[in-house]
Structure 1
């Protein structure tokens, strides 16, 4: 049994596939692994009537699998999702010194990345929204052909979110309410805005940077 199949078969792991529009959101490192990524993807998908694929690990489980090992041939639900959507937004979490206020938009659909970037800049003006691949660390660019973000017909955009915008940084330790922090709400508003205003192009411009990373996220 493959690593991904083992994770899906682990008691308590929840795999979600909701097929709606041809634009989709993914978050397969959900649960405590990359905190709130599944929540963000779920809210954005349902509010924009987009499709959704998520894998949520239960409390106490933090099995990280590189994106290139998350394969449709090992999950009928993921295979159905990838076949259904034309373009996708994959939500990930990361944390790196010097990038705690930076959102990194990788993936092979660069037109869509610029479109999402414009929407996020409107809703999160105090954050550094990076759409220039040269400004994104190589292992966080999401360019590998086997990365699920690049499997749909028009490929997609991988968004790496720092702790601050997910409400998990020290900035929010005194946040006592049960709902999402304002920054997370504004992030979701930006994703919904981008999804609702994306017309699609039917094609993507080629990515000219060399794809040398073996995995992403």
Structure 2
């Protein structure tokens, strides 16, 4: 586990990087979208996946869009090491408090995670139809790190209750057990499928 301070657009971040398997768990906005860094860390620890989280130890929380998270050393190392990225984000759409938007360029992997969420976290509704996902949450831009690994990736936009059981700012962030279990199962299946295909095959 390697921790490093980086500065992006004048904002100081603390990054935590652990190199593991070919699937990478990424939380770019751990300091802003509560519970995403903790959820990524827990799932990575359970599955042996590679992990990279960004948090903001000082200053007011600042949200820098994913497409502008510059290629700092930890992110460059993460992208070079992993084959497929699962990027965890948070949304606060009042009209969709139970909806998990499942975007990103790797649609087969997106469906694997959506199925795992449907089976193991039935209180939430995973949505994979891109035309029904709000455009800012689709995670399809080529400059978004989720799409910059060899097999692209999946961007999960999670409502508050799907990423933390303690949403008050003063409480520690504890991801819901059922969501942890669902993502763990999904990541394990994706990892198995990656190992079963040759480099020339599509996931």
TM-score range relative to shorter protein: 0.7 to 0.9
CA distance in structure 2 between the partners assigned to 1:194 and 1:154 by the alignment? 16
Structure 1, unpaired ranges of 5+: 205-217
- Cα pair 1:120 1:190 within 8 Å, conserved: yes
Partner of 1:150: 147
Q: Larger deviation: 130-139 or 152-161?
A: 130-139
> Is contact 1:105-1:131 (8 Å) kept?
yes
Q: TM-score by structure 1 length?
A: 0.80
Structure 2: runs of 5 or more not aligned: 1-5
SS for the counterpart of 2:10 is helix
In structure 1, the partner of 2:3 is: none
1:180 aligned partner = 174
CA contact (8 A) 2:165 2:173 kept: no
Range moving further from structure 2, 192-201 or 155-164: 192-201
Q: Using the alignment, how far apart are the partners of 1:48 and 1:34 within structure 2?
A: 23
Task: Specify whether residues 179 and 133 from structure 1 end up closer, same or farther in structure 2 by C-alpha distance, changes over 3 A only.
Answer: closer
Q: How large is the RMSD of aligned CA atoms in angstroms?
A: 2.2
Closer/same/farther in 2, CA of residues 128 and 111 from structure 1, 3 Å limit: same
- Name the structure 2 match of 1:70: 69
Q: Is the 8 A contact 1:3 1:65 kept in 2?
A: no
Residue in structure 1 matching 2:133, options 136, 156, 167: 136
Deviations 1:86-144 (A, max 9, x none): 00100000111211000000000000000110001111112111011111101100000
The answer for the alignment partner of 1:19 in structure 2 is 19
Per-residue Cα deviation, 1:167-191 (whole angstroms, up to 9, x for no partner): 368xx77xxx96836xx11111111
Task: Please list, as runs of the form range in 1=range in 2, the aligned pairs for 1:42-191 lying within 5 A after superposition.
Answer: 42-58=41-57, 60-72=59-71, 75-167=72-164, 180=174, 184-191=176-183
Query: What TM-score, normalized to structure 2?
Result: 0.86
Which of 2, 6, 9 aligns to 2:10? It is 6
Q: Name the SS for the 2:97 alignment partner.
A: coil
In the comparison of the two structures, how many residue pairs are matched?
A: 189
Distance 1:105 1:99 in 2: 13
Deviations 1:167-217 (A, max 9, x none): 368xx77xxx96836xx111111111011111136436xxxxxxxxxxxxx
Kept after mapping to 1: 8 A contact 2:30/2:54: yes
Q: Name the SS for the 2:102 alignment partner.
A: strand
Q: CA 1:65–1:178 in structure 2 vs 1: closer, same or farther (change >3 Å)?
A: closer
